[in-house]
Structure 1
Amino acid sequence: MFDAYHWINEPKQWQCEDGTLSVVTDDKTDFWRHTWYGFERFSGHIFATEVPEDFTFQVKVCADFHTLYDQAGIMFMADDRHWLKAGIEFNDGTPAIGSVLTLGHSDWATGIFTGNPHEFWLRLTRKGDSLRLQYSSDGYHWPLLRLCYFPAGAAKIGVMCCTPERSGLSVDFLDIALTPPANKALHDLS
């Protein structure tokens, strides 16, 4: 199932069993470029595959976030200066849903997650130079998290996790699916 996927910053502990990818994060791993903090980091774990054209990628993520900046979700990237990550990130004492778009410099958009942060879904659809990012707390209802520009061209899509302040976050990625792009209207939340 994961034959076309490969690691970027492979963690010391991981396994694939019955279609589930299980990962335990290494110490002080992160993704960030410049903005506010001034530093550059690209040490988090990514399990990804090449995507030359449009697609929809979907995954279920299960983890127990409890330390500042614990995070897990998806990563779409052209290189270490051009990427989008999204998922749950532990921030200000609570798990939040959010995304970071990096086109030379990182931004950070985050908000309250009203579902169970230990189990959530993410979906990313690419059409040309546009990305539509959605999340779900039940696997059925998919609110928009972000709509953004991203340069067209070959890239990678997959899952990511990192722990900037520690090691040891256990994450399970389930129901990973890469399909042709879902051709749904922007406000179709199914």
Structure 2
Amino acid sequence: MMLGRTDGIWLNEPKHWTENGNSLEMVTDNATDFWRETHYGFVRDNGHFLGFQAPEAFTAEVRVQGDFQALYDQAGIMVRIDAERWLKAGIEFADGRAMISSVLTDGLSDWATAPYEHDARDFRLRVTVAQGVIRLQASDDGKLWPLMRLAPFAKNSSYLVGPMGCTPERAGLRVVFSEFRITPPLGKDLHDLE
């Protein structure tokens, strides 16, 4: 059982990981990433992702604790249909600091970042998928959930969702994931921050 569930499937299982009740600790392998084409011209699909089955509409949340130090260190949550349709989001170290970051991929990847004004060593993410839309929220305390991103997302009968971590420039980012849950979509107003 991982993160309180029995249906987790690793994509690119890291060499080092442990589970303890409802938490998962992983240490990233060297040169791992998820990316498709844009700007760099390459495809990387070797990042670490522990996916859990989710229906066609859902909300998922996870708490992430890590010490992001090197360029492109990243960890958070991923929603995935296949190698060409996915979203990853969380903290990513870039431009000398921890940034709140998301990459939405539909054949090609985009990348959106903004400075993270809270403690990047401990944060939460919430993602809701429903009716061809993905809504991404981040929280520093689990109480207020400001909008991070709203975007069209491929409709599918089911998705994989769960913790994600990558280190394109090194190995050794230690991340702890906890408080993971998948529920029916919250259906809250766009500006309802709870």
SS in 1 for 2:109: coil
CA apart distance, 1:155: 1.8
Cross-structure match for 1:182: 186
Cross-structure match for 1:171: 175
**1:9 equivalent in alignment to 2:33:** no
1:98-134 CA distance string (max 9 Å, x none): 1000000000000010000000000001112111100
- Take 2:128 and 2:165, find their aligned partners in 1: how far apart are those partners? 20
**1:144 equivalent in alignment to 2:147:** yes
Cross-structure match for 2:99: 96
**1:77 equivalent in alignment to 2:80:** yes
- May I ask how many residue pairs the two structures share in their alignment? 190
> What is the TM-score of this pair, normalised by structure 1?
0.98
- Take 1:66 and 1:91, find their aligned partners in 2: how far apart are those partners? 9
- Take 1:52 and 1:121, find their aligned partners in 2: how far apart are those partners? 21
1:53-105 CA distance string (max 9 Å, x none): 21100000000000000000000011011100000000011000010000000
- Take 2:43 and 2:137, find their aligned partners in 1: how far apart are those partners? 27
- Report 1:18-57 matches (<5 A): 18-57=21-60
- Take 1:64 and 1:120, find their aligned partners in 2: how far apart are those partners? 11
CA apart distance, 1:29: 0.2
Cross-structure match for 1:67: 70
- Take 1:162 and 1:64, find their aligned partners in 2: how far apart are those partners? 13
- Take 2:160 and 2:61, find their aligned partners in 1: how far apart are those partners? 14
The partner residue of 2:110 within 90, 107, 112 is 107
The partner residue of 1:158 within 159, 162, 173 is 162
The one-letter code sitting in structure 1 at the alignment partner of 2:155 is: A
Structure 1: gaps spanning 5 or more residues: none
The one-letter code sitting in structure 2 at the alignment partner of 1:169 is: L
Percent identity of equivalent pairs:
50
